[in-house]
Amino acid sequence: MGSYHLTILKIVDETDDVRSFFVEKPSSFIFSPGQYCMIGSRVFPHEYSPMAIASGIREDFLLFTVRRWGEVSNRLFELNVGDILVVDGPKGTSLPLSDLRGSRILCVAKGTGLTPIRSLVNSLDEGMVSVLYGVRDETSILYRDEFSKWGGKLITKDAGSVTDLIGDKVDDFAFVVGSTPMICATVEKLMDNRWNPEDIFVSVEKFVGGEVFGPVFRVSELIKLKEYLGQVIP
């Protein structure tokens, strides 16, 4: 882990309020899908925001996809190609690629939850990841051209919930990313379909002392953690 000042190579407007920043990748930057970085502008060196790494381990760039929602993201949206993005990381827990290679992974995401899933798709062999994606409407789709190549299934808010796309268990592992209610509903649906909690990974972002707790856990780990916390907290 370290702090890097990286040149922005390309900027892509994914939607009206979501922008992707492609930046140079240092040779010393080693990460695994699911991890995040604290990113910011050197113009405001004390303002950072956690962003999931969206690039795959085999790609020769780093990718961060940012939704405009606060002061730090507004500052980032002022940056242009050739400017410097300050990147501190990688940080946090990640998906165990050594366990996942050779297995089929079902990914379920909502909104910008697709960012770490893009990292996973581009870190494993083609065809090993299937994606179920829920968005507000079709104008909200991230990585539109890539998503069509993944063969993922899409559902919009008016058509239902992303959990409606979950069928019988045919994959080895699952990875769920989204809001807390979405994660809870998805995990419940998976377990109703006889998924083992050991085989379900979730990305849970909780801020503790300026850092993100997690973000990647097996559901079996969260169950044990909840049982422990229930014993020590009235």
**Domain end among 66, 91, 116:** 91
Comparing 49-63, 98-112, 210-224, which segment has the lowest mean pLDDT?
A: 210-224
Comparing 16-30, 161-175, 206-220, which segment has the lowest mean pLDDT?
A: 206-220
**Residue 80 in domain:** yes
pLDDT, one tens digit per residue, over 86-129 is 999 999 999 999 999 899 999 999 999 999 999 999 999 888 99
CATH code at 15? 2.40.30.10
In this structure, the strands spanning 211-213 and 173-177 are unpaired
pTM greater than the 0.85 cutoff: yes
Mean pLDDT for 77-89 is 95
Q: Are residues 23 and 58 in the same domain?
A: yes
The Cα–Cα gap between 28 and 227 comes to 39
pLDDT value of residue 210: 59
**Residue 234 in domain:** no
Q: Is the pLDDT of residue 211 over 90?
A: no
Q: Are residues 193 and 145 in the same domain?
A: yes
Q: Is the pLDDT of residue 73 over 80?
A: yes
Please state the domain count of the chain: 2
Q: Is the pLDDT of residue 43 over 80?
A: no
Q: Are residues 109 and 165 in the same domain?
A: yes
Q: Are residues 82 and 109 in the same domain?
A: no
Q: Are residues 102 and 217 in the same domain?
A: yes
pLDDT, one tens digit per residue, over 117-167 is 999 999 998 889 999 999 999 999 999 999 988 989 999 999 999 999 999
Q: Are residues 31 and 83 in the same domain?
A: yes
CATH code at 129? 3.40.50.80
pLDDT value of residue 234: 44
